[in-house]
Structure 1
Amino acid sequence: HCASEHRYREWIFGQFLGWMLNGYVIGLVKALFYVTESMGQKHTLRFYRGEVWNKLQEMAF
């Protein structure tokens, strides 16, 4: 295979991965988890299952 075909295949694969992430993975994570930034650690995300986050919210109030 020539170099241009290889680049084209890489581009197609990148498009597919972007579509999968944007179309399915992000939606799945949003549906199953509550995502929040960590208090003392900048740029650190914490993922909580929905039922765990609800319990934490109940305990806080």
Structure 2
Amino acid sequence: MSSSTTAPIATPQRVSATRSLLLQLTSGAALGLVVLYGVAFAESPIAHNAAHDVRHVTVKPCH
């Protein structure tokens, strides 16, 4: 008896779903970074105090 092992073939639906998921994750991460840096450099004292530690962790001057 012989048994053969074959690799699964990527279907167009699976590839499309994977690309969609990666695009969503990348877009979400990019939006999060934009918001984070926007708040980190805000002039408002509330936003400044909320993002103060982030500024120091990312080695950004804040004073």
Asked whether the two chains share a fold, i.e. TM above 0.5, the reply is no
TM range (shorter): 0.3 to 0.5
TM-score (norm 2): 0.42
Quick one: higher RCO (CA 8 Å, sep 6+), 1 or 2? 1
Q: Which has the higher strand share?
A: 1
TM-score (norm 1): 0.43
